[in-house]
């Protein structure tokens, strides 16, 4: 496909000088009802989740069912092979449902393994990873977030986004160097 | 804390404790017959050991908080310090077990064997045991274990456990309270340095007290998981008890601005961790014995899977671990004092079941030489001993809470603790 010179708006970037500033700005952005936006900080800021109004992730539910699948898989694997298909009799111990303790180690391990995989890949899926590039990487000032600057980005896909009003709003909450980031189509 | 604010509960504790001890004394001195006296020895060991493990747990958490220099826990540390202070009360309740012959003879068959051997060989116990082992082959194991399991060393160890545990609990609490007065940082540093090496001796004291008093009830049985199993249950239940005590004190208007829901969450997480740890250790102990299937080892679990004990074993699996695990998974529940208190009460009930399961199944088979598994009506003695020791220990704990500030008010890390976020 031929490249075009057309671009689409990704969103607005605004710089803040301190964690306090970005914290209070986040509270105002949250209260204004934005949903598609994020804060980029050089280090974790305690309480920022609450200030941003971030909801609890649904990842734990994935992990729960991932882990349960692991337990079931391990139990079936051991029970079907060791009891149903080929009963393994050791030291005259019976092979039936009451020998389940012998299967506990493998049930434990597979529960952990499946939970860990679900956590990792579920996390990737929810974050939209892996991907080749991100529109924000086009911005020169964005790089400073990993050094000494706190950056807020309100994305254009937010239903409340407005080219003029959102910019004014970011200025009003104290944002500096507000930049319109565009993405190549 | 004003003692008058808790005087009602404290009065109940004292009344129940006094009544329980009165009935216990009737059992103990044989007023209800020699058979009941022997049965009651097991009741007393059960009640003593239940509270002994919880008290040890209090000392463990105090020492752990010092050695790890933990900032978050300063606001709640005094609950553990005061709980550990009970060790001196427990020492008094241990006296009948260590020095009262009818109890010793009823509880520990090896003590009887040693006394018989000493009498037969004119005072030389080891020689007597060797001679007797030619006719009773079970006694070979007592000859082999003689270096560790003999009456003078056993008595000396019991004294050393209490000197060490009591000394640690007293010193750490004394320094902490001294800091309330002078605000000197050196108390914090001293406590930290002082806990490092003795933590090893703490582990040894907990392990070998459990070996000496509970495992040696059947001198032919052994388990290398024993000490850590007892420790896991003690640390677990002492955390639950401290959360209940904290909530009780807060309900009277104290610590409202010092302890936040973050502390509840952190303590709940430790409770959760030890739920899993106990299950891990308990299952490992069961699993190794079940798998190896060696006659000397399996007896412990066969007895506890026979008749009605099977139900109690299952209650431990599903109640001690599975239900508690599920209840403690939710972060929200751990942060809500009203709901976590009920989980903690459940934890204490399960610890009760655990210690009961460890000690009482030995009673009837030991006393009847294997002819019966259960004595009807002996549980009244269990109840009397439990209420007697529990009432007095609870009374002493509440009184101790009231003798000093409820939190280390001049600890250098107090602000860090109050602002703790996790």
- Would you call B398 helix, strand, or coil by DSSP? helix
Are A116 and A162 within one domain? no
Structural domain count, chain A: 2
Furthest CA-CA distance within chain B? 70
> Which of A100, A104, A112 to mutate to test binding with chain B, by most B CBs within 10 Å of its CB?
A104
**DSSP structural state of residue A148:** T
Same-domain pairing of A64 and A118: yes
> Do A137 and A49 share a structural domain?
yes
- Do A117 and A162 fall within a single domain? no
Residue that is last in its domain, among A127, A152, A173: A127
- Count chain A–chain B contacts defined by CB atoms under 8 A: 12
Q: Which residue from B minimizes the CA distance to A103?
A: B287
Chain B residues whose beta carbon lies within 8 Å of the beta carbon of residue A104: 283, 287
* Cβ contact, residue pair A104, B293, below 8 Å: no
Helix (H) or strand (E) holding B344: helix B337-359
- Same domain for A144 and A170: yes
Does residue A38 form part of some domain?
A: yes
Same domain (yes/no): A63, A116: yes
Q: Which residues contact A45 (CB under 8 A, 6 or more apart)?
A: A19, A22, A23
pLDDT digits (tens, 9 = 90+) for B391-406: 999 999 999 999 999 9
* Rg, Å, chain B Cα set: 22
Verify that A111 and A63 share a domain, yes or no: yes
- CA B29 to chain A, closest CA, distance in angstroms equals 45
Q: Tell me the domain boundaries of chain B.
A: 3-108+150-418
Q: How far apart are CA B81 and CA B84, in angstroms?
A: 5
Q: Are residues A69 and A113 in the same domain?
A: yes
A162 touches chain B (CB under 8 A): no
How many whole angstroms separate alpha carbon B298 and alpha carbon B293?
A: 6
- Cβ distance B283 to A101 less than 8 Å, yes or no, reads yes
Contacts of B329 (CB under 8 A, 6+ apart): B272
Could you give the CA distance from residue A60 to residue A115 in angstroms, rounded to a whole number?
A: 10
As averages over each run of 10 residues, the pLDDT of chain A (185 residues) reads 75 92 93 92 91 90 95 95 88 82 91 96 93 88 90 92 91 90 83
- Residues A81 and A123 both lie in one domain: yes
Same domain (yes/no): A38, A67:
no
If you measure CA to CA, which chain B residue comes closest to A98? B290
Domain boundaries, position A11: 7-55+129-184
Answer yes or no: is A2 within a domain: no
To the nearest whole angstrom, how far is the Cα of B44 from the nearest Cα of chain A? Answer: 34
pLDDT 10s digits, B3-24: 888 889 999 999 999 999 999 9
**Residue B291 in contact with partner chain A when CB distance is under 8 A:** yes
A159 and A101 in a single domain? The answer is no
DSSP labels, B147-175: TTS-HHHHHHHHHHHHHHHHHHHHHHHHH
Helix axis angle, B198-213 relative to B226-251, nearest 10°?
110
Q: What is the pLDDT of residue B211?
A: 96
Distance CA(B16)–CA(B64), nearest Å, equals 33
**Which range among A3-17, A66-80, B31-45, B315-329 shows the weakest confidence by mean pLDDT?**
A3-17
- Residue in B closest to A90 by C-alpha: B291
In angstroms, the Cα distances linking B139 to B110, B134, B136, B145, B274 are: 9, 8, 6, 10, 38
Task: Tell me the C-alpha distance between A173 and B96, whole Å.
Answer: 73
**Judgement on whether residues A105 and A91 belong to the same structural domain of the protein:** yes
Q: What is the pLDDT of residue A176?
A: 87
- Nearest by Cα to B325 from A122, A64, A74, A117: A64
How close A17 gets to chain B, by Cα (Å)? Answer: 24
Task: Let me know if residue A137 belongs to a domain.
Answer: yes
Q: What pLDDT is attached to residue A23?
A: 94
Q: Cα-Cα-Cα-Cα dihedral of B136, B137, B141, B147, to 10°?
A: 50
User: Nearest C-alpha of chain B: how many angstroms from A25?
Assistant: 22
Compare CB distances from A91 to B287, B293, B421 and report the shortest one's residue.
B293
Mean pLDDT of chain B: 94
Question: CA A2, CA A5: separation in Å to the nearest integer?
Answer: 10
For chain A, the 3-state helix, strand and coil shares in percent, each to the nearest 5, are 50, 15, 35
B287–A93 CB contact, under 8 Å: no
Q: Whole-structure pTM over 0.80, yes or no?
A: yes
- How far is it, in rounded angstroms, from Cα B207 to Cα B325? 26
Strand order across the A150-155 sheet: A37-40, A150-155, A7-16, A176-184
Structure tokens at B104: 């010793």
């Amino acid at each position: 496909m031929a490249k075009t010179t057309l671009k689409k708006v990704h969103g607005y970037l605004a710089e803040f000088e301190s964690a306090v500033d970005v914290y209070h700005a986040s509270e105002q952005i949250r209260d204004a009802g934005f949903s598609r936006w994020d804060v980029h900080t050089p280090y974790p800021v305690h309480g920022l989740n609450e200030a941003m109004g971030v909801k609890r992730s649904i990842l734990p539910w994935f992990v729960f069912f991932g882990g349960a699948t692991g337990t079931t898989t391990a139990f079936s694997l051991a029970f079907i092979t060791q009891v149903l298909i080929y009963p393994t009799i050791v030291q005259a111990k019976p092979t039936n449902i009451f020998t389940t303790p012998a299967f506990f180690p493998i049930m434990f391990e597979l529960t952990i393994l499946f939970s860990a995989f679900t956590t990792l890949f579920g996390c990737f899926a929810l974050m939209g990873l892996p991907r080749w590039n991100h529109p924000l990487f086009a911005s020169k000032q964005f790089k400073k977030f990993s050094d000494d600057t706190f950056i807020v980005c309100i994305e254009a896909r937010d239903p409340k986004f407005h080219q003029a009003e959102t910019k004014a709003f970011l200025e009003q909450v104290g944002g500096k160097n507000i930049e319109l980031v565009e993405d190549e189509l | 804390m004003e003692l008058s604010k808790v005087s009602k509960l404290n009065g109940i504790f004292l009344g129940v404790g006094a009544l329980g001890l009165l009935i216990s004394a009737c059992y103990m001195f044989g007023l209800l017959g020699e058979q009941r006296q022997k049965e009651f020895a097991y009741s007393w060991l059960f009640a003593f050991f239940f509270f002994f493990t919880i008290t040890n747990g209090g000392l463990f958490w105090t020492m752990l908080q010092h050695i790890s220099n933990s900032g978050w826990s300063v606001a709640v540390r005094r609950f553990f310090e005061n709980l550990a202070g009970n060790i001196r009360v427990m020492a008094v309740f241990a006296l009948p077990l260590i020095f009262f012959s009818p109890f010793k003879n009823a509880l520990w068959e090896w003590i009887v064997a040693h006394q018989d051997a000493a009498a037969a060989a004119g005072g030389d116990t080891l020689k007597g045991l060797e001679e007797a082992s030619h006719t009773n082959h079970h006694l070979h194991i007592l000859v082999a274990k003689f270096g560790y399991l003999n009456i003078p060393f056993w008595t000396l160890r019991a004294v050393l456990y209490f000197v060490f545990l009591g000394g640690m609990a007293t010193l750490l609490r004394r320094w902490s309270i001294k800091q309330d007065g002078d605000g000197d940082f050196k108390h914090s540093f001293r406590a930290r340095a002082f806990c490092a090496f003795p933590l090893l001796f703490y582990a040894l004291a907990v392990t070998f007290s459990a070996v000496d008093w509970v495992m040696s009830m059947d001198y032919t049985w052994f388990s290398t998981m024993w000490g850590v199993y007892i420790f896991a249950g003690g640390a677990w239940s002492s955390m639950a008890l401290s959360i209940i005590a904290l909530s009780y004190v807060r309900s009277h208007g104290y610590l409202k601005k010092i302890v936040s829901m973050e502390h509840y969450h952190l303590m709940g997480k430790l409770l959760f961790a030890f739920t899993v740890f106990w299950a891990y250790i308990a299952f490992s102990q069961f699993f190794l014995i079940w798998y190896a299937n060696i006659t000397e080892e399996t007896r412990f679990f066969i007895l506890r899977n026979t008749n009605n004990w099977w139900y109690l074993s299952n209650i431990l699996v599903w109640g001690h671990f599975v239900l508690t695990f599920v209840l403690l998974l939710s972060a929200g529940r751990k942060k809500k004092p009203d709901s976590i208190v009920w989980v903690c009460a459940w934890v204490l009930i399960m610890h009760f079941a655990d210690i009961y399961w460890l000690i009482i199944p030995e009673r009837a088979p030991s006393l009847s030489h294997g002819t019966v598994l259960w004595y009807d009506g002996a549980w009244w003695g269990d109840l009397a001993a439990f209420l007697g020791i529990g009432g007095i220990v609870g009374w002493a704990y509440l009184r101790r809470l009231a003798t000093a500030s409820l939190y280390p008010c001049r600890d250098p890390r107090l602000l860090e603790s109050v602002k703790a976020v996790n």
